[in-house]
Structure formats: structure tokens, C-alpha cells
Chain A
Amino acid sequence: MPSPKPKARTYALRTKRLALSAILAAMAMIFSYIEALIPLPVPIPGIKLGLANLVIVIAIYRLGFKYAFIINCVRILITGLLFTGLFGAIYSFAGGVLSIVVMYLLYRTGLFSMVGVSMAGGVFHNLGQLLVACLIMSNFKLMSYFAVLLFSGLISGILIGIVAAVLYDKLPHLNV
């Protein structure tokens, strides 16, 4: 192979990757915005269905941990600045980081389908937020909400995983 060719390919790949990251980050923000518009009947701020998780799951599979993590952080930061405020951002950050780490680890084992990965993500997303709520309010009895959050995390995680799996197959398989 001539030497300039692989270099050009690398740049093209990187550009594609950046473009896809930007699109996914924008989508995640839109989902976060939709969620901010629909408050759930849970007395803890920041507990959401985790629609943005749909994007993060796809990002993990498509772009790997680093990109997915950055997309998630960008989403949380900008959503926090625009819609949910600093307090909401702290909750989102705890939930987002915990869920993305868990999802990536499960993904790496290769044992789980997208639905399983997303399901764990949904649960740990809520768990992370609940832990922060417990710390901020120094009230560990909030853990009694755990059952509600567990079920909502499981169900939303499974639904989002199914949607993510369908979307993932439908998305054009660009070589990124």
C-alpha cells in the first residue's frame, strides 16, 4: 500500500467518528430535553427513564467506551446548563457514569445482548442517582425507593435495549 493512503483513511475514519459522536450527542440531548419536559411521579429530582441511554448504548457498541463516555459527559453538562440546573446535573452525572461503566463492563464480557446491557444500565442509572440523593440529603431511608427505581430501571432498560438493538441493525454500518 502507498504510504499516504492509510493516513488519509485514518483521517476520514476520525472525521466519521467525530460526526457520528456529534449526532449521537445531539440526539442524547434531545432525549434528555424530552425527559425534562415529562416529570415522573418520583420525589427525587433527576430520576428519569433514561431515554438518553438509548444513544449511549449505541455509542458503546459503535464507537467504544471513550467516545460513549465523552458523549455522555457532554450531554449531561449541556443538559444541566440548559434544562435541569446544576443539581440535576449532579444526579445525572452519578447515574450516567455508574451506568456507562457497568454497561461497558457487561458489553466487554460478550455474554450479554444489547437488551441485557441496557437493562443493567437502566438499573444502575437509577441506583447512582439514588446514592447521590442519599448522600446529599444524608438520609439513607431514601433507599426504600429502591424497589420503585429498580423496577422502573429494569423495565425502561429492557425497552430501551430492544429499541437500541432494532436501531443498531437499521443504522447504516459505516466503517467507524
Chain B
Amino acid sequence: MIKKADIVLFLVILITGLAVSVVSLGDSAEGDNVVVTVDNEVYGIYPLSEDRVIEVRQQGHTNNITIKDGVVSMTYSDCANQVCVNTRPIAKTNDSIVCLPNRVIVEITSDEGGEVDVITG
């Protein structure tokens, strides 16, 4: 009833499937959204997949947040310590860049959280 080709096909499907799964699980920590918070209030939420520069101006302070190729970095800040600008670019869920002097926090969140209720498309 079972032929040799069946077994070959079984192995091919199994290996391909496992490879795809490993790849997709490997970057499952990739985030979806960039959440910018100023003074503990959400300033804006932007998709990580779209390149853009977000200029955050508040109380005389300016921070430029750049989203490019799925990576977020603080490209400009008028703060004194420049810790935020020197922070490594972020891309993974729950990563963050903090500018304490300007009270700006950039975080990456995920659409996933058990329920898939965020339909963006």
C-alpha cells in the first residue's frame, strides 16, 4: 500500500516544514509596533515594518526616532547625556530606548499575546 516515493515525500515535507518552523520561530521575537511614550503617555504607535522618522517635540525638547528596515534607533536628541543616541538600535519585542532627560521611551511591542485581535490589514 505504501510506496518508496511516499516515504521520500514524507521526509521531504517533514524536513522542509521543520526548517520553515525553525526559521520562523528563530525570529519570533521580532516585534510589530514601535510605541513612543512621552512622560508616561503614549505619543504614538508606528508599524515597525514601515520606514519613517518620528520627530518628537515636547516642552522645548526634540528627539528624532528613525525606523528603518525593521530596526529602530534614536538618531537625534537634544538631551545632555546622549545616552539614547548611543543606545544600540532595537528590533526585538520588549527592547527599548530611553531618553531620561526628555522622558521619552521607545519600545517595541508584539501583536501576539495569545489572541490575534489586531487586524491591521
Contacts and interface: CB of A to CB of B under 8 A. Distances in A.
Given A120-B9, A139-B116, A144 B3 contact: no
Interface stretch (A14-22, A32-40, A109-117): A109-117
A154 interface: yes
Nearest to A106: B9
Contacts of B14: 150, 154
Interface centre among B6, B114, B119 (most CB of A within 10 A): B6
Contacts of A106: 9
B120 interface: yes
Contacts of A109: 5
A151 B10 CA distance: 11
B21 A116 contact: no
A10 B81 CA distance: 88
Chain B interface size, as a band, is 20 to 34
A154 B5 CA distance: 15
A119 interface: yes
A166 to B, nearest CB: 9
Nearest to B29: A141
Contacts of A146: 17, 20-21, 24
A139 B68 CA distance: 19
Contacts of A112: 3, 5-6, 9
A115 B6 CA distance: 7
Contacts of B32: 139, 141
A6 to B, nearest CB: 36
Nearest to B4: A111
Contacts of B5: 109, 111-112, 116
29 contacts: A43-B114, A106-B9, A112-B3, A112-B9, A113-B1, A113-B6, A115-B6, A116-B2, A116-B5, A116-B6, A119-B6, A119-B9, A120-B9, A135-B121, A136-B119, A137-B119, A138-B119, A139-B32, A141-B24, A141-B28, A141-B32, A141-B111, A143-B21, A146-B17, A146-B24, A147-B17, A147-B18, A150-B14, A150-B18
Pairs of residues from A and B, 8 with the lowest C-beta to C-beta distance, nearest first:
A138-B121, A116-B6, A150-B17, A147-B21, A111-B5, A143-B24, A144-B24, A113-B3
